[in-house]
Structure 1
Amino acid sequence: MKDLDSAGLDCLAALADERSFERAAQRLSVTQSAVSQRLRSLEAQVGQLLVVRSRPLRLTEPGKVLLRFARQLQALRSDVARELGARALPNERIAIAVNADSLATWVLPALDELVRRGVGLELVVDDQDFTHDWLRQGEVLGCVSTVRQALRGCELRPLGVMRYIAVASPEFLARELPDGLSAANFAQTPFLVFNRKDDSQVQWVAKAFGLRSPRLNERYVPSSEGLVRAACMGWGIGVVPELQVRALLAGGELTALRPEISVDVALYWHQWKLMTEALATPGRVALLDQIGEALARGARAALQLEPEFSERPKKRPERQAGAVER
């Protein structure tokens, strides 16, 4: 199974991104027949089915294994091209997964310089305990995640702690909670929730009132920015990043409930190890490493730090993700 066909691997990556033969062919500037032939050739090389021809198509487990290799090969090619002074192709990009709250606060400023330099990035958004699944399946080369252990073949870098607090508009508090939020009335009070993976509100209520599994009156707003706006409009209580609402708190548009109570979420950067050291000239850093360093700098400037972040956690075998946060 040596000497895997690079054209077939590029087709596999394009199919994973586009989820159809037609769009994959358009992306690669070839015919659908060429995509099919290259995929069949790659499947013949490995002796296994790599793609389920459904609508939308999906990768098999062997296909996901090869997708990881294809992504890393593409990143290596980009680094070699940069070393040789060649321009990257228009459709070449590095995909990373981030959580919505990080994207809404500190990630874009952290990556701004790289993007201005012409680095092709694709940002995939998911809840921060689920971004790790994108990395495991080979869909992305790096992710911001709450998972503390590195996958085999990956590097792990602590970023910092995202602090979540409960906020609501003064008008909402006066209308719905004139006597304040308490263990007696929280179940009837609307809480704004990002999606069904998000349990930051449940964690905050459990911590505030010493409860184990509180049930909430939930209103779903599947956008970090939209959820904060809904809180300002008086739709309910939101448990949101303190970083995101500092100006709104200072301006009186939002009020913090029980400000001594917070949900602190530790974030980590995970990336695949790419064998670029032997290819790079002294003093130059591989592109994926540059992305990781940019995110680490941005996180240091924006996020909270805890003592455990003074030393990098040891790498251990992968475990199941724990509680889900945005």
Structure 2
Amino acid sequence: MIDYPAAHAVAMVVQTGSFERAAQKLNITQSAVSQRVRQLEERLGAVLIERGTPCIATEKGAWLCRHMELVGSLENDLLTHLPSLGDTAKPLTLDIAVNADSLATWFMPAAAAFAATSSNVLNIIIDDQDFTHDWLRRGRVLAAVTSKAEPIIGCDVIRLGKLRYHATASPQFYQRHFSQGVTAAALAHAPVVTFNQKDQLQRDWLVTNFGTTVSGPTHFIPSSHGFVKASLAHMGWCLNPTALVHDHLASGRLVELIPGATLDVDLYWQVGRLAAKQFAGLTEAVKQAAQIGLVR
């Protein structure tokens, strides 16, 4: 049998990021929290929490936290039908994974619409759209915006639409590096901006338009808005979502490397079936926001 007080202590440490804040939330001493966590780790023969600032869950700890989220969801559902069983339902923290460009463009209206009608709160993990499904597969989150159409085991998939990207640069950068035209040879020497080592968007655009993956020196800037600022500051060329560069393209502050040569990325919403009811409001808000912010 699972020691639920100990499991709850683990989940609270991960949620708050420290043993001290977990103790305050649970109204017990910090030493009691430490004892519960340590005893459960010894019983399971596995480290559940990576101690640090903040404390984070190990892979096994994340599975336990996901289980506690599902238990809390089921308890809240039961209390709505049998309120005499206990106190009113407590707010849940819903863990989801979203790619940075979605969060910077179309996703926030969905989060706001959900928050306006729910007492639950969101914990949004940011990762590349090609990797957010890994968080779901490993049990670290219960739902994700992902580029993967194949459902994770135990999950439902909803197609959202396409996030459209433009390969952009400042006119000054364009003139400096592409005065003789945008060619594979020129792109092999022109600086490029990339989100991080996982980011394949610039590579995909190169393959689609030039049949090559060779690019110039790379600036790594892990920020969607930072990408735009880097373009405006003549640092390099990069792929930016339409919503973030539409006005800059219209004003001439940015130009497309190849007019009309956009890159569309299909996005999907994957949500665990066991948590589908608790996520129903968020799922509906995500679908509505996607209808407005994504290309169909």
TM class, shorter-length: 0.7 to 0.9
- TM-score between both structures, scaled by the size of structure 1: 0.79
Identify which of structures 1 and 2 has the higher relative contact order when contacts are C-alpha pairs closer than 8 Å and 6+ apart: 1
Q: Give, in whole Å, the separation in 2 of the partners of 1:112 and 1:74.
A: 22
Aligned-residue offset at 1:61? 4.9
SS at match of 2:256: strand
Structure 1 contact 166–256 (Cα < 8 Å) conserved? yes
Structure 1 contact 25–32 (Cα < 8 Å) conserved? yes
CA gap 1:60/1:116 in 2 versus in 1, 3 angstroms: closer
CA gap 1:160/1:22 in 2 versus in 1, 3 angstroms: same
- TM-score between both structures, scaled by the size of structure 2: 0.86
Deviation string, structure 1 residues 161-217 (Cα, Å, up to 9, x no partner): 112220111222223322232122111111111111112111111222122x31432
Name the count of aligned residue pairs: 289
Deviation string, structure 1 residues 21-49 (Cα, Å, up to 9, x no partner): 334324434222222333355457xx423
Structure 2 contact 192–215 (Cα < 8 Å) conserved? no
More moved, 241-250 vs 21-30: 21-30
Q: Give, in whole Å, the separation in 2 of the partners of 1:185 and 1:48.
A: 57
- Counterpart for residue 32 of structure 1: 30
Structure 1 contact 195–222 (Cα < 8 Å) conserved? yes
- Counterpart for residue 173 of structure 2: 172
Aligned-residue offset at 1:124? 1.4
More moved, 112-121 vs 186-195: 112-121
CA gap 1:173/1:82 in 2 versus in 1, 3 angstroms: farther
Unaligned runs of 5+ in 1: 277-285, 306-326
Aligned-residue offset at 1:20? 4.0
- Counterpart for residue 66 of structure 1: 64
Deviation string, structure 1 residues 147-171 (Cα, Å, up to 9, x no partner): 2222222221111111222011122
Q: Over aligned residues, Cα RMSD in angstroms? A: 2.6
Unaligned runs of 5+ in 2: none
Aligned-residue offset at 1:82? 5.8
- Counterpart for residue 317 of structure 1: none
- Counterpart for residue 189 of structure 2: 188
- Counterpart for residue 44 of structure 2: 48
Q: Give, in whole Å, the separation in 2 of the partners of 1:234 and 1:42.
A: 54
SS at match of 1:294: helix
- Counterpart for residue 282 of structure 2: 291
Identity of paired residues, percent?
38
Alignment of 1:230-249 (within 5 A): 230-249=230-249
- Counterpart for residue 253 of structure 1: 253
Letter in 2 for 1:77: E
- Counterpart for residue 208 of structure 1: 209
Aligned-residue offset at 1:71? 1.8
- Counterpart for residue 322 of structure 1: none
Structure 1 contact 95–123 (Cα < 8 Å) conserved? yes
Aligned-residue offset at 1:18? 4.3
**Within the alignment, does 1:134 sit opposite 2:135 as a pair?**
yes
**Within the alignment, does 1:116 sit opposite 2:107 as a pair?**
no
Letter in 2 for 1:259: P
**Within the alignment, does 1:163 sit opposite 2:154 as a pair?**
no
Structure 1 contact 49–63 (Cα < 8 Å) conserved? no
Q: Give, in whole Å, the separation in 1 of the partners of 2:123 and 2:59.
A: 23
- Counterpart for residue 90 of structure 2: 88
Bigger helix share: 2
CA gap 1:43/1:144 in 2 versus in 1, 3 angstroms: same
